[in-house]
Chains A and B, each alone.
Chain A
Amino acid sequence: DVKVTQSSRYLVKRTGEKVFLECVQDMDHENMFWYRQDPGLGLRLIYFSYDVKMKEKGDIPEGYSVSREKKERFSLILESASTNQTSMYLCASSLIRTGPQPQHFGDGTRLSIL
């Protein structure tokens, strides 16, 4: 069965800390995505990657970076956490095929920055 695993369900960090959110998929998918979800705003794309060591900015990349050293792993990095980055973070993956493919999601990481 399809599986996208996010390393933490809940995380509490302090302002200014460097924060790592990890995501692993076991489906050999080429595409991987990081979103943040906030009430009333839906899902907003932070970064995505279509291959190892490749990354593309999404709609709200400011304050974030990503790393994809292996095909199955996509990490989101908050370089210096701020309180406005308190949110639910969702990772997803999909295949590259002719025509858009559905994305498969992890269970999310609820991050609180104090």
Chain B
Amino acid sequence: AQSVTQLGSHVSVSEGALVLLRCNYSSSVPPYLFWYVQYPNQGLQLLLKYTTGATLVKGINGFEAEFKKSETSFHLTKPSAHMSDAAEYFCAVSETDKLIFGTGTRLQVFP
């Protein structure tokens, strides 16, 4: 069965600092991977997705993620954090039409 592990339930960074949110997956087939963001009192919004092809995927709001098959990882990064990036972030792996979600990482950004 497929699964997702997000390391660190809380991450804190200063405004302008690098954001790194970690995601490792387990899959017996080539995975489709997703990152979602959830702002307070809202649903989830797609940040980016990896299907096939280029391993570095660019998403919205300056985020990107790199698929590393050898490390079974799909970490999310942003070079410079902004206060508006404070939210909860979820990594997910596909299982046919279903998604398996990680437990989420809450990002805090300090001025």
Contact = CB atoms under 8 A, between A and B. Distances in A.
Contacts of A9: 41
Contacts of A22: none
Contacts of A58: 98
A101 B97 contact: yes
Which residue of A43, A94, A108 has the most chain B CB atoms within 10 A of its CB atom? A43
Contact of A94 (B41, B42, B97): B97
A98 B9 CA distance: 33
Contacts of B96: 100
A95 to B, nearest CB: 9
Contact of A106 (B9, B43, B49, B99): B43
A31 B97 contact: yes
B99 A103 contact: yes
- B interface bracket (residues with beta carbon within 8 Å of A): 20 to 34
Interface in B73-99: 90, 94-99
Contacts, number: 54
B55 interface: no
Interface string A32-47: 0100000011110100
A31 B49 CA distance: 18
A90 B94 CA distance: 18
B98 A105 contact: no
A76 interface: no
Contacts of B94: 100
B45 interface: yes
A74 interface: no
Interface string B57-84: 0000000000000000000000000000
Given A100-B32, A102-B49, 14 more contacts: A4-B43, A40-B103, A42-B101, A42-B102, A43-B44, A92-B43, A99-B32, A100-B95, A100-B96, A100-B97, A103-B44, A103-B46, A105-B36, A105-B43
